[in-house]
Amino acid sequence: MDFKKLTIKSASEGLRKKKFSSVELTEAILDEIERRDGEIKAFLSVDREGALEAAKDADRLLAKEENLSPLVGVPLAVKDAILVKDLVSTSASGILENYKATYDATVIKKIKEIGAVILGKTNMDEFAMGSSTENSAFFPTRNPHDLKKVPGGSSGGSAAAVAADETIWALGSDTGGSIRQPSSFCGIAGFKPSYGAVSRFGLMAMASSFDQIGPLGKTVEDCFTAFNAIRGKDSFDSTSFDVGLDLGDQLAVKNMKIGMPKEYFAQGLDPRIEMLVKQAIEKLQDQGAQIKEISLPHSQFALACYYLILSSEISANLARYDGIKYGVCRSGENLLDVYLNSRKDGLGDEVRRRIMLGTYALSAGYYDAYYKKAQQIRTLIRKDFEEAFKQVDVLMCPVSPILPFGFGEKTSDPIQMYLCDIYTVIANLAGVPALSMPCGKVGNLPVGLQIIGPQKGDSTVLQMGSALERLLK
């Protein structure tokens, strides 16, 4: 039995038909991690014992009950920014080295209750700041398609683990593209739900008005299944709500209106990526979908707007890492010195850069010119989407303007790294759902296509993606 190529769907079928047990499946995946991860480095920690314990419980459940969730007994990996009780949870930051979570994030509570099997915690850019996983305080992760290239970021460990068959699916978080861009770079599917559709409780906060947890999987259908299990209102996150999810209905591609935002097929886009994305869209057109060029006129300000509001929220959220309550503590002559020394030693360059930028943008005298202006532009960007979705059902565009790049290529110039996020940040600014799915390869490097839907249009996005996935097969 080759366990490696299993999806949530096929693994769950195998478990139900007793072709294998969850313990056998989990052992096989753990062995694969052992065999492969020395090279890929997707995991920060593996919880072999805990995973096998959960697998035994799942087997007991599978033996006595029917009508269980397809996630029962199926192994997954969890981004290190998401708290799993009693497991080390560092967000790949030195300041939280060896920090053990004292409670489960809501998404973890949900999947544990279902009977899923947590394999371990995956690598990421420190506190989810970055687009290549090179900002991890521990080590970079490699792209399974080409070990000389980055896997994308910040959920690079989760994406690489799925792509390298070191897990069946994974949880990640997306603040400005961190699920979608690594999914695109690693040739898998990744879904950022509508803001609020999944509880953020227990996700280490980066920028609270953008952060969203979501699934990464081998297929869009798997993302659908995983999202269904983690979504929903949570009393611990006041921004959460119940988004309806229509799992059964297969969307008729015919008569669907697809918008192609012209600002996202513009200068700077690799023509090979453009060609693959357009070819995939044409397949939908052949099925009767209507394609329309759309404009999102304020897109030109999106990246600046994102990095301003983001850094401002980071500067506030990361104030809690002061050496007193969690993680690394450095001594000093007085309390201020303790704070300063702990933060200087514990936080990496990119994190400190953003804290400084954000503190500046929020400071008296600059607040109106930067933070307030960026918030006003954010409203205009939201309105662009509202207008667009009066005309079309979904928008389609590339996930990334460039192919996976080499290690060190962009680390010396932060602006070059920020430019990687040009097509993904808008969905977070507007709070709308967006999916990344593979649409072909350039050489051995995968290319992702992005499907963006209206607020709470999560079903439409996933069904459209699933329809396209079938057409591309």
| C-alpha to C-alpha distance for 289 and 278, rounded to whole angstroms | 13
Judge residue 215's burial from the number of C-beta atoms within 10 Å of its C-beta, 0-12 exposed, 13-18 middle, 19 or more buried: buried
Considering the complex, what minimum distance in angstroms separates the CB of residue 179 from ligand GLN? 7
Are the CB atoms for 142 and 62 separated by under 8 Å?
no
Considering the complex, what minimum distance in angstroms separates the CB of residue 80 from ligand GLN? 12
Instruction: Please give the positions annotated as active site.
Output: 79, 154, 178
Are the CB atoms for 221 and 469 separated by under 8 Å?
yes
The three-class DSSP label of residue 226 is helix
Q: Which is nearer to ligand GLN, 204 or 289 (CB)?
A: 204
Residue 395: beta bridge partners? 259, 452
Return all residues near 315 (Cβ < 8 A) that are at least 6 apart.
Answer: 354, 355, 356, 357, 358, 359, 362
| C-alpha to C-alpha distance for 222 and 278, rounded to whole angstroms | 24
Structure tokens at 301: 């300000």
Are the CB atoms for 236 and 199 separated by under 8 Å?
yes
Binding site for ligand GLN (CB under 6 A): 128-131, 154, 174-178, 206, 310, 421
Are the CB atoms for 72 and 114 separated by under 8 Å?
yes
Q: Which is nearer to ligand GLN, 55 or 128 (CB)?
A: 128
CA dihedral for 422, 428, 432, 436, sign (positive or negative): positive
Are the CB atoms for 78 and 122 separated by under 8 Å?
yes
Considering the complex, what minimum distance in angstroms separates the CB of residue 165 from ligand GLN? 25
Considering the complex, what minimum distance in angstroms separates the CB of residue 212 from ligand GLN? 9
Q: Which is nearer to ligand GLN, 36 or 121 (CB)?
A: 121
Are the CB atoms for 124 and 154 separated by under 8 Å?
yes
Q: Which is nearer to ligand GLN, 130 or 454 (CB)?
A: 130
Using Cβ positions, the residue closest to ligand GLN within the complex turns out to be 178
Considering the complex, what minimum distance in angstroms separates the CB of residue 129 from ligand GLN? 5
Tell me how far apart the terminal alpha carbons of the chain are, to the nearest angstrom: 23
Q: Which is nearer to ligand GLN, 178 or 240 (CB)?
A: 178
Q: Which is nearer to ligand GLN, 190 or 327 (CB)?
A: 190
Are the CB atoms for 223 and 188 separated by under 8 Å?
no
Considering the complex, what minimum distance in angstroms separates the CB of residue 323 from ligand GLN? 24
Tokens 């694969």 sit at which residue? 32
